[in-house]
């Protein structure tokens, strides 16, 4: 008990220094907090919602620090904090970070990076093993907050009737599509893919394919979206994959722009490399579109 009280006192003292005008002191305080969070002595935080909430609030504030080194050490702290939080505190933390990704006044790469750090640190399902309760709890928070925010739009936290928050992967009028948001999606699928429900996979792939099919999506964003769709396909059921291929075939058969056709053919290539065993049986229906795009049919007709 005495050791716990000493740790609590140390945390409170360090948090109080995060408002100090000296950036070096703020950095050192966060570095000391990381040492505490990364130590088993902080395990009590899972049962101390008050101290955990103060920690989360302090780190969220530090993410907006004007000094990059302070931001980076705050990001580093979020990982061990996430696995120390009481289960009921993880969801609010994810909600606050997801809300910051829609900010028009801060660098939104920071909250997106924070989300990836947390998702990567949370307990994940292991292949061939039933998910234990701590993994189910972590996935529940991700499922309730991040997946809906990625696909969006969702009701505004303000509670105003009819007020919506745009999805993280929707196109922003001034910023365009967010490659950082796609990276969050990739991290979610990589870490929790076996647990993601079919309806969630459907919603995620619709958002990703919307970017791939968009003529205005930049090269970087399109490449990240291609990586995302290849990660999603690994977890498709047979019926989902059949529907996905049918939609892809129908789209390629229609009158689409050259850019869209190029992106869809690139998607076929990426998926074929990532999931050859799963995607291979469907290639017969898709390869003609690839050959047609590269002029293979014209070449064959002249021989």
What pLDDT was estimated at residue 132?
94
3-state secondary structure 229-271: HHHHHCCCCHHHHHHHHHHHHHHHHCCCCHHHHHHHHHHHHHH
**Whole-number Å distance between alpha carbons of 146 and 60:** 17
3 pLDDT more than 90: no
Peptide bond into 42 cis (omega under 30): no
In a domain? residue 72:
yes
What pLDDT was estimated at residue 80?
94
Lowest mean pLDDT among 11-20, 70-79, 129-138, 162-171: 162-171
In a domain? residue 218:
no
Does one domain contain both 168 and 68? no
Residue 280 DSSP code: G
Does one domain contain both 100 and 64? no
Residue where one domain finishes, among candidates 196, 213, 234: 196
**Whole-number Å distance between alpha carbons of 131 and 278:** 24
Assess contact for 139 and 100: CB atoms under 8 A.
no
Percent of the chain whose pLDDT exceeds 90: 70
Percent of the chain whose pLDDT exceeds 70: 93
What pLDDT was estimated at residue 292?
77
Residue where one domain finishes, among candidates 69, 85, 101: 85
286 pLDDT more than 90: no
301 pLDDT more than 70: no
**Whole-number Å distance between alpha carbons of 116 and 19:** 26
300 pLDDT more than 70: no
**Helices 219-233, 198-212: crossing angle, 10 deg rounding:** 150
Assess contact for 216 and 146: CB atoms under 8 A.
no
Structural domain range at position 108 = 87-196
Q: What is the pTM of this model?
A: 0.90
User: How many CB atoms are closer than 10 A to CB 22?
Assistant: 10
User: What DSSP element (H or E) covers 155?
Assistant: strand 154-155
Partners of residue 165 on adjacent β-strands: 154
Please, what is the average pLDDT of the chain?
89
Does one domain contain both 76 and 91? no
Assess contact for 204 and 212: CB atoms under 8 A.
no
When pLDDT is cut at 50, 70 and 90, the band that residue 289 belongs to is confident
194 pLDDT more than 50: yes
**Whole-number Å distance between alpha carbons of 151 and 28:** 38
User: How many CB atoms are closer than 10 A to CB 126?
Assistant: 11
> 241-270: per-residue pLDDT in tens?
999 999 999 999 989 898 999 999 999 999
> 156-169: per-residue pLDDT in tens?
665 566 567 788 99
Residue where one domain finishes, among candidates 52, 85, 118: 85
226 pLDDT more than 80: yes
**Whole-number Å distance between alpha carbons of 142 and 216:** 30
Provide mean pLDDT across the span 169-188: 93
In a domain? residue 240:
no
In a domain? residue 263:
no
What pLDDT was estimated at residue 40?
87
Torsion of CA 151, 155, 157, 162, to 10 degrees: 150
């Amino acid at each position: 008990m005495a050791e716990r009280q000493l740790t609590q006192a140390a945390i409170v003292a360090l948090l109080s220094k995060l408002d100090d005008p000296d950036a070096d002191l703020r950095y050192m305080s966060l570095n000391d907090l990381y040492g505490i969070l990364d130590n088993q002595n902080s395990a009590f935080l899972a049962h101390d919602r008050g101290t955990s909430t103060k920690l989360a609030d302090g780190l969220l504030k530090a993410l907006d620090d004007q000094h990059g080194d302070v931001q980076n050490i705050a990001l580093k702290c979020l990982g061990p904090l996430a696995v120390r939080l009481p289960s009921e505190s993880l969801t609010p933390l994810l909600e606050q970070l997801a809300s910051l990704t829609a900010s028009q006044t801060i660098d939104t790469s920071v909250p997106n990076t924070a989300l990836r750090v947390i998702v990567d640190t949370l307990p994940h399902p292991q292949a061939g093993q039933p998910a234990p309760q701590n993994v189910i709890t972590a996935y529940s928070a991700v499922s309730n907050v991040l997946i809906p925010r990625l696909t969006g739009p969702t009701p505004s936290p303000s509670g105003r009737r009819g007020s919506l928050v745009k999805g993280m992967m929707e196109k922003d009028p001034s910023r365009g599509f967010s490659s950082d948001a796609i990276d969050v999606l990739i991290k979610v699928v990589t870490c929790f893919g076996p647990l993601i429900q079919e309806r969630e996979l459907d919603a995620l792939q619709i958002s990703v394919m919307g970017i791939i099919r968009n003529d205005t999506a930049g090269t970087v964003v399109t490449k990240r979206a291609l990586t995302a769709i290849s990660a999603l396909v690994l977890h498709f059921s047979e019926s989902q994959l059949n529907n996905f291929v049918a939609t892809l075939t129908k789209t390629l058969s229609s009158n689409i722009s050259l850019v869209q056709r190029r992106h869809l053919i690139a998607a076929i290539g990426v998926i074929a490399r990532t999931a050859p065993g799963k995607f291979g049986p469907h290639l017969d229906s898709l390869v003609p579109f690839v050959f047609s795009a590269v002029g293979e049919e014209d070449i064959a007709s002249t021989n």
